[in-house]
Structure 1
Amino acid sequence: MFNYHMVLIPAVVALAATLISGPMLIPVLKRLKFGQTIRDEGPKTHLVKNGTPTMGGIILVIGIIVASLLSGKVDGNMLVALFSIIGFGLVGFVDDYIKVVLKRSLGLRAYQKLIGQFVFAFLIVLYQYKTSDYGSSILVPFTDGYYFDMGMLYIPFTVLVVVATVNSVNLTDGLDGLASGVTLIVSVFFVITASMLGYESIAIVCSAVFGACLGFLRFNIYPAKVFMGDTGSMALGGAVAAAAVIMNASLMIPIVGGIYFAESLSVIIQVTSFKLTGKRVFKMSPIHHHFELVGWHETKVVGVFWATSLVLGAVALIAFI
């Protein structure tokens, strides 16, 4: 049974925590000169964003943790979800720190990032495999609640899903308010489905993600006063991935998180095409930059992607039910 009271309070607490911590942390980031460096090869309209404080994902993580722990419903599932948020957020934080503080523009090397991500993903999936009544089974969309047993393939497959999800959310974070707005919508889907399936603590965490994203948009909407950085995007990816894995619903991510999927797919297509043919399919990838370069204003791209996420969320609910 959907409990509005259960999920409303964490959202409000996370919203309040984010709105309170934001004005305190953003000036600190400015004083420390934790400013974003915009790449020259990106859209020229983004050059004005040079120096905007980054690593604001700390604000998101604070809101989510505070709201979740204050709910009084702490259990193993919640702790694993928070472990995922903090763990992947930590990988992003180290990457941000190297880029922003140590002034090494590429941050962590790709293999270093992937090692950290695969370690956290494996631990989360192993927990689910060992504790869930469904074991190695996953919910198949549009099948009226049918679970398919993947057997030995469950762990490697789900680990890949987690890592892909985290990196896809990271790729989505390229425009003011894009990743936070899309994840806000995705979190509503998981609040509803977690409540319906009886995963109370996961519903609470996702509610906290919703509230934190809503509060963060106060500072991240165009023109952004702060960027979440890899700290925030990977933490949000960890939240989405953990919710799906714990509910054995990892196959729902490409539907409800269709924007994430499209962003990653556009990069894969672009790189593959260029390597094989020397030609680019898009003017720039990820795909949100393509729309900018065909003449859409940044706010239009974000608005259309938000609207698309709403439609995908509705489709995902139909697929789930």
Structure 2
Amino acid sequence: MFMEGISLGISFLVMLLISPKGIKLLHQLKFGQEVREDGPNSHLKKQGTPTMGGILFLIAISVACLPFAGTYPHILPAYLLGMGFGVVGFIDDYLKVVKHQSEGFNPRQKMLCQTIISILYISYIFYSKEYSGAFRIPFFGKEAYSVGLVLFFPISLFIITATDTGANFTDGIDGLCSSVTAVIVFFLLLKNHLGTGDMAPLMGAVLGGLLGFLCFNAYPAKVFMGDTGSLALGGFVVAMAIQEEIALFIPIFAFIYFVEVLSVILQVSYFKWSHGKRIFKMAPIHHHFELLGWSETKVVTIFTIITILLCFFCFMIL
């Protein structure tokens, strides 16, 4: 665990060093959070809290892992996918927060950019001799199955899009996305360590950056990660899973991502089908539990515990 520990420590310390001044700068630039008017009343006090804090842990991750890229070349595809999505998220945040465009990035433009980045990543993984382009299937043993070009591209693209969207939807409560993702990355780090260890610096850096960010993002949050952070995290997680050949396990170990996306799909679909009725009090589902009376810290605690249990379950079956 030596290399994971080095990159984790560097990333964590960089976060602690740059965050106080970084948060102050975000305040000065007036990069304040816009709170949904139809959201929980308890969120109204968050209005103006600095967002786009994902920039801070992306800096920490870069400082901690890039010096090892020459020795660990496998980290670069995953790093670039996460950073690419982070750039898309930054543009979206900038348009919403600074330019006050309610929708931010045009949804079609946003999806097009993410699709292009995803296809470039998938193409590199599939055609590179260093990667198998295969998937392990849950409960079907340790063998990874190569599915060929025709299936690998659409399956990978769907998984990347779904995972990134899930991470994005999970970012809605102080510390929720950071806590859940930190557990997921720790699980992936252990999986990689017991295998080749070829992604150790990136996994350690992402975990360290998240732990450092949680020092300022835990309730009551002094800063939010914004789409800059959540989209980048989704990219890091899904790339790590693909390169570890366990992308099909994501609905299990990243169940919270999965259920957040599913709750939105069900809510919107049922609302249209029933002409105005709702399944949940509010979607994504973490807001539903808030409106049932759960505190933010309770939601984060329960969702994190669920993630820990499911990651442990995945670790056992792997």
TM-score normalised by length of structure 2: 0.96
Q: 1:132 to 1:182 in 2, by over 3 A?
A: farther
Q: Which residue of 1 aligns with 2:182?
A: 184
Q: 1:19 to 1:56 in 2, by over 3 A?
A: same
- Which amino acid in 2 is paired with 1:289? H
Q: Which residue of 2 aligns with 1:64?
A: 61
Q: Which residue of 2 aligns with 1:112?
A: 109
**Equivalent residues of 2:131, 2:243 under 8 A apart:** no
- Offset, 1:136: 3.8
- Which amino acid in 2 is paired with 1:139? R
Query: 1:309 pairs with 307, 310, 313, which one?
Result: 307
Task: Describe the SS at the equivalent of 1:154.
Answer: helix
Matches within 5 A, 1:202-213: 202-213=199-210
**Equivalent residues of 1:61, 1:85 under 8 A apart:** no
Percent identical residues:
43
Query: 1:131 pairs with 128, 136, 144, which one?
Result: 128
Q: Which runs of 5+ in 1 are unaligned?
A: none
- Offset, 1:176: 0.2
Q: Deviations over 1:13-35 (max 9, x none)?
A: 11001111111211000001110
Distance in 2 between residues matched to 1:70 and 1:302, nearest whole Å = 34
Distance in 2 between residues matched to 1:274 and 1:88, nearest whole Å = 30
- Name the stretch that deviates more: 134-143 or 80-89: 134-143
- Which amino acid in 2 is paired with 1:213? L
Q: Which residue of 1 aligns with 2:317?
A: 319
Query: 2:256 pairs with 247, 259, 284, which one?
Result: 259
Matches within 5 A, 1:199-278: 199-200=197-198, 202-278=199-275
Distance in 2 between residues matched to 1:317 and 1:89, nearest whole Å = 28
Distance in 1 between residues matched to 2:250 and 2:237, nearest whole Å = 8
Query: 1:23 pairs with 14, 20, 23, which one?
Result: 20
Query: 2:293 pairs with 292, 295, 314, which one?
Result: 295
Distance in 1 between residues matched to 2:131 and 2:90, nearest whole Å = 34
Task: Describe the SS at the equivalent of 2:135.
Answer: strand
Matches within 5 A, 1:116-195: 116-132=113-129, 135-151=132-148, 152-195=150-193
Q: 1:113 to 1:218 in 2, by over 3 A?
A: same
- Which amino acid in 1 is paired with 2:115? F
- Offset, 1:244: 1.1
Task: Describe the SS at the equivalent of 1:197.
Answer: coil
Paired residues, number: 316
Distance in 2 between residues matched to 1:74 and 1:107, nearest whole Å = 39
Q: Which runs of 5+ in 2 are unaligned?
A: none
**Equivalent residues of 1:139, 1:148 under 8 A apart:** yes
**Equivalent residues of 1:125, 1:245 under 8 A apart:** no
Task: Describe the SS at the equivalent of 1:76.
Answer: coil
- Which amino acid in 1 is paired with 2:255? G
Q: Which residue of 2 aligns with 1:85?
A: 82
Alignment RMSD: 1.3
Task: Describe the SS at the equivalent of 1:106.
Answer: coil
Distance in 1 between residues matched to 2:133 and 2:27, nearest whole Å = 47
- Offset, 1:105: 1.5
- Offset, 1:72: 6.0
- Offset, 1:144: 2.4
Q: 1:246 to 1:62 in 2, by over 3 A?
A: same
